Every structure is written in C-alpha cells, then in structure tokens.
Chains A and B, each alone.
Chain A
Amino acid sequence: MGRVADVELRNVSKVFDNAVVAVDGVSLEIEPGEFFSLLGPSGCGKTTTLRMIAGFEMPTSGEIYIEGRPMGETPPFRRNVNTVFQNYALFPHMTVADNVAFGLRMKRVPRDEITRRVREALQLVRLVGFEDRYPRQLSGGQQQRVALARALINRPRVLLLDEPLGALDLKLRKEMQLELKHLQMTVGITFIYVTHDQEEALTMSDRIAVMNAGRVLQVGTPLEIYERPSNRFVADFIGESNFLDGRVVELNGQRATVLVDDRLPVPARVQDGLAVGEQVTIAIRPEKIRLHPTGGEGAEGCVPGRVEEVVYIGTDTYYLVRLTDCCTIRVRVQNSQNRLDSGEMVGEGTEVLLSWLPETAMVLKA
C-alpha cells in the first residue's frame, strides 16, 4: 500500500477483571485523513476500542500501532492522539483559554506561541471572545467546541471522538455533524468517531466499522454498509430490513429464487458462492419494495399479500403487508408518489402485489 496506516489494530482483545470480554479480536486499519466511525449498540466495545487507542486501557492481547509504531503500554500522554470526551471533560476550574492552552502548557511551549495558537484554535471553532468564560457559563454546543479546540490545538495525528454529540439536542446535533465534517476536511486530521447513531455515522464518515459484542462485523463506506450489509446484524442495525428465511431453489443469471417457508418463491440477488438448496436469509429494505394493485399487468415475479396496517409518518407511509400464508413485511412508500394524487387509497384489508428488483434483495448466508 506504500502508506503507513495512521492507526492499526492487530487482533486486539480486551478482557476486563470481571472476565467480561469487551473487545474480541478486532483488526482495523485507519488511513491518514480518514473520517472513520465505530458504530454499534451500547456495550458493543466501540468505546473500549477507542480508549485503547487513546491509551486509557491496555489491550489484553494484540497490538495497536499508531503511525506504524507499536504502542505497547505507552501512557496516554505520550501518544500523538487526542480525545474529545463524551461529556467534554472540560476543566471546570479553568477558563476557556486555559482549557485550550492546557496541552501546550504541559509540553512547555513558549508563551507567545501558546497565545497565538489558542487564538487560532478558537477561531477554528468560532469561539473568539469566549476566552475568559468558564465552562459552566457555556452552552452545550459551545462546550463541545471548546473540547474540540482543546484537542486540535495539539495538532494530533489522530483525533478520537467518543459520542461527542450525544449530549446535544437533535437540532444542534445535526448542525454540529456538518460542522465537524467541515472541520475535519479543513484540518485534514484523521478522525476516529464513536457513535451508536447510524444516521450520524452514515452522514459523516468516509468509512464505518460496525461492531457488536466486541467484534467488528463489517467495514466499509456508508454506501457499502447500507446497500451491501454482510450479515443480518448489520442489515438490521443500519436502517431497517425485512428478513425472510428460505432455501435457494433456482439460480438464473443475476436472479435467484428463494423458497420462503417452503411455499413462497421470491426473487433475490445472486451472490458469489451461492448454491441451490442452501438455507439463506433474504433482507429487503422497506423502501425498496413497491406496491401494486392486484390484477394489473406485471404480475409475474410479484408476491401477493394483504395490507394489515397502515401507519402514516409524514414523509412516508408504512404498510404492514401479510404475504399469503406466510410472514408479514414492512413496506415504506414515499407520500409524494402516494395515493391521494392518484386518487387511490390503499387501505387496510386491501389485496396487493409486492415487487422489488432482485438485486435489492440481499442474500445473507445462515
């Protein structure tokens, strides 16, 4: 590859004293300048992974490399990484300026350089004029930006962010997502971002590692993660999916047919190594399914069903459709292309046909 990864984890595990396996054999390579997210439900080991990179926890086994050097038991203050903590961890007894200057003071940087760089850092996060305030006098968003400035002023190779937007309200969070992404592109520092919010991860990241139960399940771009989840957990955790269990009965070019519940044939995408007779799970996103009235044209390859429940959620409408003699499926239809315009209401009890492009029905091996 030529370039050395900024951060590399080789088979890293962490077992806590109480025998809880927090991180289980994680290997990752994070490229310079990348916005990399660790995404997973709470307790999946993402924060522990971050804390091991920062040096707050030492791996039980495996090795962490930063800029190609093995970290071993290097303490946090000798690692060229900085952290933005979930609760910001601003020093309550110091002003904004003192907070931001802390790292440089610890490294005994000359005073006038500190003054200059504090100014720059505060400009970067648009907090000039707040130098003499104390953290408790700032709003959550402002505290967040102080925490960023305090970390970035040290010009770390990698910035670690532990759910930094978790404490903010929804609107501010959306604003800060964009601001963070901009900031990352401006400073060009590698960001490793821990979050349990899939939307946040999809919006901001160059690449995402989805974690569960201490393991990395899939690493990829947001598009790959969303469109090509490699397993059921990822398909379920990122976005929504309908899952249908069945057996492959036919392979035909790009199109496979899976017999669900031994009676309902449905189309699905063909994938390497798939064989007839194999037990698989099909995952279909609700928004990739189309609803048709019965009896119309194009009934071939469609799956019949009956609408059981209609849930209107503003931009879209959810339909809970019971497939004939089988399971139920959620369908999400945008309201712009929905009923009222065409004058047709799909109500509860309506018989419908469902269709989807075979390549949108992902086949997950059991």
Chain B
Amino acid sequence: MSTTATTAPRTAPLATRRRWRLKPGWLVLNSNVLLTFLFLYAPIVILVIFSFNASRQQAVWVGFTVEWYEQMMRDERVIAAAKNSLIIALVSTAVSTVIGTLTALALDRFRFRAKTAFEGAMYLPIIVPEIVMAISLLVFFNTTFNLLDRWLGLTLKFGLGTITIAHIAFSFPFVAVVVRARLADFDRTLEQAAQDLGANEWQTFRYVTLPLLMPGILAGALLAFTLSIDDFVITFFNAGIGATTLPLEIYGRIRRGITPEVNALSAVLLLASIALVLGSALLQRRR
C-alpha cells in the first residue's frame, strides 16, 4: 500500500503523446476515468448528503437538518464508542510505531540467523485474511485466559486490552514496511560523517538517523492510526462484551436497521479520516 508511487519522470517525446491522445480511444479512456471517480465517490458523497436530510425516509430529500448530528452527539453509546476508538487507536499507534520502527532498523542494520524467515513471518499479518487473524487471536486469548484462570486463578477478559494488542499485532508490520522503505534510501555516509565528527552511536542515532527517518515514521504512524480506527473485523472478534468501538457501533446499528443517525455517524468517521489524510499530505508537502 504505497502512499506514493514515485518513479523517475519519463516524459515521452511529444509526438508519441500527441498521437496517442488524438485517437478517439482517448475519449473512451477519459470517460472511463470520469466514471471510475464517479463510482468511487458518488456513494460517499450521497451518504454525506443524506446525513443532512430532514426525512427519516432517506431516498427523498426533504430539507436540510443537523438534527441527526445533534442526536449523535447526545448519544452516550456513541460517545463511549468514540472514546474507546480513540484510546485504542492512540495506544496501538504509539506502540506499533515504536515496535515497527525498531523492527525496520533491525532488518536494515543487523544480520542475524533466520532473518529471511523473520521477514517472511513479518509480512504474513499483511497478507493473511483479516478474518483468519481475527479468529486466531480470539482462539488464542480464549485459550490463554482459560489456562490462566485454571492455573493461576487469574481472571482476564476480552475488552480494550485485547483489542489494542490485536491492533498492534496487525499494524506494526505496516509501520515496519513503511519505515524500511525509507531506510532503503538512507545515505549511510551521513551516519559515518556523524561518527567521524565525534558522535557516539547513540548521538548518531538521536541527531542524524532519527530526524532523517522522521517522515517515514510519521507516515507509518498515520497508517497505523487509520488502520486501528477503521478496523472492524479483528475488533469484532476480540472485543468481548462491553467494549465497543465506532465501527462496532455502526455495524450494530446497521444490522438493526438503517437510520439517519447511522448516516451522520458514518459521515463523521468518513470526513475525519479524509481530513487526516489530506492534512498529513499537505504537511508533508510543506516540509
């Protein structure tokens, strides 16, 4: 999931371009682009529009209202779920960013036995279907909790803790991949220059390596945050009773029937993540 696919610019000679563009095929191609964007964005836009619809009958536009948003903000279940989502996302982002960055450094800087095996295993959480990871954690937590209960009399339950652990498990490999991509272009002579100028290993890391890796680490953190706040499947299987996140709340409401409040809640989640991504894109461009 590369955020940017930057390759060296290769502008073809003008003649080629012009010839290809003047063909009627371009019309078909361009309409394909328009229709695709329509396809990608129309459902989202319609969802947002209808979250402001005054009617409970959603197919017909009656008038503008923010009532559903007001209701949503008064809804304690929603507030609790939002709080849970945020706590889980912040904790799992922090932990998976640290773990992911360290793992990337280990893979880039050290040679060790079973490195290839470790790398392969690290990509597995990215490849394995979510549902499999979800049930494996469910089974694991369940089994472990049973054993702990039986052997040590320790009672542990599904909840925020299990969700957070699960989120870290699937997001830190993503962070590692992003940071490692940054490390791959890292100019090692900069570190040698620092050492040459009297910086010991820690100082080199602190003043040269880390600042230069920062954009990659931030991108990884953003990815981890988004993955966590959006996750449904793995959370669904590992939440237990009582701990609800925003996606779980939305899912529960959808199953019970489509209401305008769900639209409002969905719209908020949608716009929040779009704002987050565009904001960070702008921030990175300014750097």
Contact = CB atoms under 8 A, between A and B. Distances in A.
Contacts of B198: 77, 103, 106-107, 154
Q: Which of A55, A83, A89, A90 has the most CB of B within 10 A?
A: A89
Given A93-B211, A106-B203, A56 B197 contact: no
A91 B208 contact: yes
Contacts of A150: 197
B79 interface: no
A103 B199 CA distance: 7
Interface in B191-212: 192-201, 203, 207-208, 211-212
B199 A102 contact: yes
A87 B196 contact: no
A85 B192 contact: yes
B203 A83 contact: no
B190 interface: yes
A361 to B, nearest CB: 45
Contacts, number: 63
Nearest to B191: A89
Nearest to A75: B195
B189 A106 contact: no
A37 interface: no
A2 interface: no
Contacts of B189: 85, 87, 89
Interface string A65-90: 00000000001110001110101011
B212 A77 contact: no
Contacts of B193: 83, 85, 89-91
A54 interface: yes
A58 B208 CA distance: 23
B218 to A, nearest CB: 14
A343 interface: no
A110 B80 CA distance: 52
A187 to B, nearest CB: 17
A56 B195 CA distance: 9
B76 interface: no
B203 A82 contact: no
Interface in A25-69: 54-56
Contacts of A55: 195-196
Contact of B197 (A75, A87, A92, A103): A103
A92 B187 CA distance: 11
A220 B211 CA distance: 45
A150 B198 CA distance: 12
B194 to A, nearest CB: 7
A77 B196 contact: yes
Nearest to A81: B196
A120 B51 CA distance: 66
B199 A91 contact: no
A54 B191 CA distance: 13
B195 A77 contact: yes
Q: Which of A54, A76, A81, A93 has the most CB of B within 10 A?
A: A76
Nearest to B197: A103
B194 A102 contact: yes
A10 to B, nearest CB: 23
Nearest to A79: B196
A81 B208 CA distance: 20
Q: Which of B192, B201, B212 has the most CB of A within 10 A?
A: B192
B189 to A, nearest CB: 4
Contact of A54 (B187, B196, B200): B196
Interface of B: 187, 189-190, 192-201, 203, 207-208, 211-212
18 contacts: A54-B196, A55-B195, A75-B201, A76-B195, A77-B200, A82-B197, A85-B189, A85-B193, A89-B189, A89-B190, A91-B208, A92-B190, A93-B212, A102-B199, A102-B207, A106-B197, A106-B198, A107-B198
Given A76-B196, A103-B197, A150-B197, 16 more contacts: A56-B196, A76-B192, A77-B197, A77-B199, A82-B197, A83-B192, A85-B189, A85-B192, A85-B193, A87-B187, A89-B190, A89-B192, A89-B193, A91-B193, A102-B207, A154-B198
